[in-house]
Amino acid sequence: MTTAQNLPVLFLTDPIVLPGMVVPIELDESAQAAIDAAQAGKTGAVLVAPRLDEGYASYGVVATIEQVGRMRGGAPAAVLKAERRARIGHGVTGPGAALWVEAEPVEIGEPDDRATELAAEYKKLVVAVLQRREAWQIIDIVNQLDDVEAIADTAGYAPYLSNDQKRELLETPDLTARLTKQIEWITAHIAEVEVTDKISEDVRDGMEKSQREFLLRQQLNAIRKELGEDEPDGADDYRTRVENTDLPEHVRAEALREVGRLERASDQSPESGWIRTWLDTVLDLPWTVKTEDSTDVSAARAVLDADHHGLDEVKDRMVEYLAVRSRRAARGLEVVGGRGSGAVLVLVGPPGVGKTSLGESVAKALGRKFVRVALGGVRDEAEIRGHRRTYVGALPGRIVRAVKEAGSMNPVVLLDEIDKVGSDFRGDPAAALLEVLDPAQNHTFRDHYLDLDLDLSNVLFIATANVMDTIPGPLLDRMELITVDGYTEADKVAIARDFLVPRQLERNALTAEEVSITDAALREIAANHTREAGVRQMERLVAKALRKAATRLAAADSAVAGADSTPSGGSPLETGDVTAGDMTLGYDPSLGYDNVVDLDSRATAPNSAAPTPRATAEAVPVGVESAAAAAASSTTLIVDIDNLTDYLGRPRFTPDSVERTAVPGVATGLAVTGAGGDVLYIEANAAEGERSLTLTGQLGEVMKESAQIALTYVRSHLAEIGIEPKVLDRNIHIHFPAGAVPKDGPSAGVTMVTALVSLALGRQVRGDVGMTGEVTLNGRVLPIGGVKQKLLAAQRAGLKTVFIPARNEPDLDEVPAEVLAALDVRPVADVADILAYAIEPIAEPAVDGERFAVTA
């Protein structure tokens, strides 16, 4: 066992010296004193230990002085060779100015099998690290090491270990523990080096690719230059386009700023693509393009009248808009956009009345471009205001895209189905429309994608909706409301004659000379085959009739072809034809002989004179007096009221109010739905049981309250009406048929009162009477909405007398004159006036309550 010895101490901050290392040391004053003391001593050794801020180290190495000299700069230096570990003991005295301590040797012991295995593994890892550095000479030295402790102490040269880690190795005498730590640290280092190398390789490959693309682009530019072609979509090209495009100043400044960013950005940067897309969108917008409005007011009205029948209120509003603009232009006043100069209309009405198609007619009448924006089902606010440019796949909103599609700043934009805009977690599109449809704000509309002020004040916005209830109040307040309540029967006949029939003739490859539909047939279709506010179903039925007519004409043509190939002597009746002289008449048993078609006349010149028919009596079919009469009939297939059933079947709708009110307790009311006005039958009945009220028919809260008010009113006026008190002291059941349809609103109040009184008196309600109005507990009739639609529905249902609230009498000005002529409209202020007329009379007037008395 080696004994302790007294040695001078040389403290070093860097490096940490482990056994086996040979290191040069620059000598300062204290280090020089330690070297001098060592040289003066017997052993010539010095104890090298780490310098610590908090005190002395506990371990060091005993080193011998190999050489003393000077560095290149002239500073004194010494070369030390570390030999073995030593534990620093207490201080002792010694010669010179150096600090002397007692150095106790550290016994390492013989390595076990585990230490040997760890040393071999560590040696492989060290060689792997040195191979990455291509330090081949050092690898040879390491490979020659066999001593386990010497292999472990090579960590002193490892640049990837910190001084604290090396000090920890110095203070760990146990070989197994020391090698375990070294293997952990060198493994982490190798992993880090591999990741760093991978990143460096990727960066190097990217740089090489960028350099290669740069060279190729330069070569491509040189080739295009030689060919006389300009590089498309380059930064210089965008700058030229921005400078040559007629843009507002604020738009030009922003576009040039983005071009500058594009010039500074790399072609591989994602931002470069975003800027190019934004510039393309801005340059494609018609910032300064406007179409000239038509100044001929009469011609504009003629265009509107040619495309649509009726709708006078909308047409008048468009003509007024055009007249004002033309007068301002004629007097040299400002006609361009600005605050409050726009027009925003909303057409509210049932389906099929022409709201959507009216927008295109308005654009044609004004001489403007037309764009339709479908809003039904839109739930994302970004669909209106656009997405921020930072989002992937960002696009401008539908309003900006509509202006871009139109190619002008003053188009007619139809916002279709604005009442069907929804909202969810992505925002409320209706709220985004507040700025678009506000004439006081839309001259500075800012789309999120463009982030530029866009002047929409010259745009004519026309919105369509079926109901107003689902349109938010603030949005509805920004638009000018025009109601399109539906068509009368005469309107439908005129529309079908002038628009629907010609269109369907063309679609079914027919002409007016081949098939004709009479006005009587059209009136029958409108009255009994359809019951709608618009004309969509009527057009479907017209198309159905014409398809059947086309089928019969095709069958008749086939019959003629078969007659031409009949052998001589064959009977003409066998081929389905009636022969009259030189004229062959196609016969179809399903049509009868009132619609015989001159097939030969269609194959020859239409103006050629038909020869005089020469038919024998045997050739005349049953139902035709003579072949001459058959030949003299029209060659046009006529669809009339007499044969309409053959084409459309039996009528689906017939007046049933008399049948429905044939029992007491049933009254006819009027209601407004999303499809227009309709009749609403209310049934009341009583059953034995506790005094209660039962309501059925999928009713809303307002209608349920109206039923309770109606019953309370009747019970409080039993004596005046002449009802026995016990009659209503039962379970009263009020039912609204069509239970699958939701119903709500107060306008059925008077109808429920009438039904209850009819039930209590046991007398029917007049079958030709309809009524509408909200009732109070005192019997007052309050005003309601949708008077025009309800009166149109009453006319379609075949009613003769309609009661409306007295305060709704001004609404009759909007009702067509033919409807007022067909109906006896009676404004009332008290429900008693309705009861006095609507309840069927009895043989003798009622004794109690003369104001409720009903006489024949």
Q: Is the dihedral of CA 493, 499, 504, 510 positive or negative?
A: positive
Among 648, 667, 695, identify where a domain stops.
Answer: 648
The one-letter amino acid at 533: A
Q: What is the pLDDT of residues 427-471, one digit of tens each?
A: 788 888 888 888 888 888 888 888 888 888 888 899 999 888 888
Q: Is the pLDDT of residue 602 over 50?
A: no
Q: Is the pLDDT of residue 827 over 90?
A: yes
In angstroms, what CA-CA distances link 87 with 50, 134, 153, 220? 12, 37, 17, 74
- pLDDT for 565 equals 56
834 vs 236 pLDDT, higher one: 834
Do 664 and 629 belong to one domain? no
Lowest-confidence region among 430-444, 509-523, 544-558, 611-625: 611-625
- Per-residue pLDDT band at 587 (split at 50, 70, 90): very low
Q: How far apart are CA 803 and CA 723, in angstroms?
A: 23
Q: Which long-range contacts (CB under 8 A, 24 or more apart) does 239-246 make?
A: 239/263, 241/279, 241/283, 242/279, 242/283, 245/283, 246/287, 246/288
Do 82 and 13 belong to one domain? yes
Lowest-confidence region among 179-183, 584-588, 680-684, 839-843: 584-588
412 vs 263 pLDDT, higher one: 412
Does 356 carry a binding-site annotation? yes
813 phi-psi bin (left φ>0, alpha ψ -120 to 50, beta other) = alpha
> Within a domain: residue 169?
no
pLDDT cut 90: percent of the chain above it? 10
Q: Is the pLDDT of residue 215 over 70?
A: yes
Burial (CB count <10 Å: 0-12, 13-18, 19+), residue 141: exposed
Do 347 and 262 belong to one domain? no
DSSP character at residue 811: G
393 vs 283 pLDDT, higher one: 283
Q: Which residues are catalytic?
A: 747, 790
- Per-residue pLDDT band at 563 (split at 50, 70, 90): low
- pLDDT for 334 equals 60
**If you average pLDDT over each of 226-230, 263-267, 314-318, 656-660, which comes out highest?**
314-318
Q: How far apart are CA 841 and CA 474, in angstroms?
A: 50
Among 52, 87, 105, identify where a domain stops.
Answer: 105
Do 766 and 839 belong to one domain? yes
Beta-sheet strand order (sheet of 801-805): 692-696, 731-735, 676-687, 666-673, 769-771, 801-805, 824-828
DSSP character at residue 407: T
Report pTM.
0.58
Do 461 and 528 belong to one domain? no
> Within a domain: residue 669?
yes
Mean pLDDT of 767-784: 91
Contacts of 334 (CB under 8 A, 6+ apart): 328
Do 381 and 478 belong to one domain? yes
Q: How far apart are CA 848 and CA 721, in angstroms?
A: 7
Q: Is the pLDDT of residue 525 over 80?
A: yes
Do 630 and 517 belong to one domain? yes
Structure tokens belonging to residue 754? 């009438």
Per the structure, the complete domain to which residue 270 belongs is given by 235-284
Q: Contact 62/20 with Cβ under 8 angstroms?
A: no
Domain count, the chain: 5
CATH for 406: 3.40.50.300
Does 355 carry a binding-site annotation? yes
Do 544 and 471 belong to one domain? no
- pLDDT for 38 equals 85
Mean pLDDT of 286-291: 88
Q: Contact 461/344 with Cβ under 8 angstroms?
A: yes
Q: What is the pLDDT of residues 468-506, one digit of tens each?
A: 888 888 888 888 888 887 787 888 888 999 889 999 999
Q: Is the pLDDT of residue 803 over 90?
A: yes
Structure tokens belonging to residue 517? 């539909």
Q: How confident is the prediction for the chain on average, in pLDDT? A: 80
- pLDDT for 394 equals 85
Does 351 carry a binding-site annotation? yes
Q: How far apart are CA 153 and CA 160, in angstroms?
A: 15
- pLDDT for 54 equals 67
For residue 652, the Cα-to-chain-centroid distance in whole angstroms is 39
Structure tokens belonging to residue 390? 């930072």
Cis check for the bond before 567: say yes or no (omega within 30 of 0): no
Lowest-confidence region among 571-585, 713-727, 835-849: 571-585
- Per-residue pLDDT band at 753 (split at 50, 70, 90): very high
Nearest to 751 by CA among 729, 738, 739, 734: 734
174 vs 856 pLDDT, higher one: 174
Give me the helix-helix angle, 355-366 and 312-330, nearest 10°.
20
Q: Is the pLDDT of residue 595 over 60?
A: no
Does 352 carry a binding-site annotation? yes
Q: Is the pLDDT of residue 128 over 50?
A: yes
Among 452, 483, 514, identify where a domain stops.
Answer: 483
